[in-house]
Amino acid sequence: MNQRTSHLLIAGTLASALSLSLVAYAQDEATERDYQVPLPEAPEGEISFQPPHERDLPDNQYGEMVRKGRDLFINTQALRGEYVFNDQNCANCHLDAGRLANSAPMWASFGVYPAYRGKNDKVNTLAERIQGCFTYSMNGKPPEYGSEPLVAMQTYLHWMATGAPINESMPGRGYPKLEETEQGADRERGAEVYAQQCAVCHGDEGQGQKVGERQAFPPLWGDGAYNWGAGMHRVNTAANFIKANMPLGKPYSLSDQQAWDVAAFINSHERPQDPRRRTLESVDETDETFHNHHGFYGDEVDGRRLGDHADFGENPTPLDG
């Protein structure tokens, strides 16, 4: 932890202790101290790992649990109303059902947990890491330890990592890191990229597109999108993801500059409130405590302050509940 973070930690903790009643303070400390720290950069090297084929799944209870996990990973909307309160599926950001290299593939993540995460300043198990994506990316409520959805996902990840090394970061993990450009990230230039290359699928208003009841293209902002606490709301993380994965079917077709600009554009729109806001007094405090990174939370854009609202999307879950 660097000095700045540790000051923030102390400031944040003091502020919450002062401003919350004793009962409220007995909430989940881990979630309260959740900071945004990107994944470490994946090592260079050839991506040679191949996850196993589904046709090779054993015909037993383990194989059945893997299938359940895969189904939930692709159609996480099956958990809507219980653990998921936006329109996302895990596979929206972890492409090809979590198999695609450079799209934060699940086979590269299984063996690296438990791991220390700056985001909540403690050692996280894989289950906790998955729970984190439920809280933020899915704007949801994390499934409880030992509950079937969580066991199914862990089993799916375990199976995908068959033959992968333990405790070693593999090439292809996470999203490849883009260097910053001299011109920086500009949302106005990004708006043009978006209109030309993204809106056809994600919609003029970032609302995504449904075919019947099914979400064919995920929303990128608004109530159906990832919330203000999700890793994807950071401009650098989104730029990395976009460069390697978007437009769908045309990876690496955008220039680095276009990827930065369009990431700034989509992430400077409103989305569900950061759930950690429930534990703090104000947007300022949430901004200072948890948003010391490359993002738009708390910034003024087009005359409005982003994140200055009490809209948690459809998520009714208080953090301590």
Site mask for ligand HEC (CB under 6 A), range 33-62, x = bound: -----xx-----------------------
Which residue from 189, 92, 164, 163 is spatially nearest to 133, judged by alpha carbons? 92
d(CA 139, CA 224): 9
- In the numeric block, the tokens 């890793």 are attached to 231
Q: What are phi and psi of 216, to 5 degrees?
A: -80, -40
Least separation in angstroms between residue 306's CB and ligand HEC is 17
In the chain the beta strands, taken as DSSP E runs, fall at: 115-117, 122-124, 209-211, 214-217, 300-301, 304-305
Least separation in angstroms between residue 258's CB and ligand HEC is 7
Counting contacts by CB under 6 A, is residue 202 touching ligand HEC? yes
Contacts of 269 (CB under 8 A, 6+ apart): 206, 220, 221, 222, 306
Of 8, 152, 185, 198, the one binding ligand HEC (CB under 6 A) is 198
For residue 250, the tally of other CB atoms under 10 A from its CB is 10
Of 8, 65, 66, 95, the one binding ligand HEC (CB under 6 A) is 95
Burial class (CB in 10 A: 0-12, 13-18, 19+), 74: middle
Counting contacts by CB under 6 A, is residue 173 touching ligand HEC? yes
Contacts of 57 (CB under 8 A, 6+ apart): 63, 66, 67, 159
Least separation in angstroms between residue 21's CB and ligand HEC is 32
Chain positions 135 to 164 lying near ligand HEC, rule: CB under 6 A, are: 137-138, 153
Counting contacts by CB under 6 A, is residue 108 touching ligand HEC? yes
Count of residues near ligand HEC by CB under 6 A:
48
Q: Which residues bind to ligand HEC, rule: CB under 6 A? A: 38-39, 76, 88, 90-95, 104, 108-109, 112, 129-130, 133-134, 137-138, 153, 173-174, 193, 197-198, 200-202, 217-218, 220, 225-226, 230-232, 237-238, 241-242, 246-249, 254, 262, 266
